[in-house]
Amino acid sequence: MLEGSILQNLVAAHHSQNKPLNLGVYYKNTLVALCHALEDFLLETYSAPLMIVAFQRGKWYLQEAERYGELASKAQHIAIMAAPIAVFASIPPASELMSISSISLPTIPSPRSGI
């Protein structure tokens, strides 16, 4: 856990509670399925949500761009955050929709990736 991170602060705040946080390990396919279920729900409702979405890499967004184009037709606004790649700077089809913004995040060096 990163020193000073939001997660570390959240864990510290709940440390003295009777219900400590359960920080299990979740695999990517589980998280993607959960996100798709939430997105499907949003597509079926009459609300206009404000969506804040984060991808580890811009290339992962590119695989979901068409889906976010659909979501943009329902959403009040979508903010998509990801580590930049050349293609992410000009998000495909959905970028023409006024309700989508891209936010490039700084790349944090990883001991495993050598970045």
| 113 within a domain of the structure (yes/no) | no
| 2 within a domain of the structure (yes/no) | no
Rounded (10°) angle between helices 28-44 and 58-72? 20
Q: What is the pTM of this model?
A: 0.61
Q: How confident is the model over 74-98, as pLDDT tens digits?
A: 888 888 887 766 555 555 544 455 5
Asked whether the predicted pLDDT for residue 29 surpasses 80, the reply is yes
Report pLDDT for 41: 93
Asked whether the predicted pLDDT for residue 17 surpasses 90, the reply is no
Cα(21)–Cα(87) distance, integer angstroms: 37
Tokens encoding 47: 């609300």
How many domains, in total, are found in the chain?
1
- Residue 105 CB coordination number (10 Å): 15
| 64 within a domain of the structure (yes/no) | yes
- Structural domain of residue 37, as residue ranges? 7-104
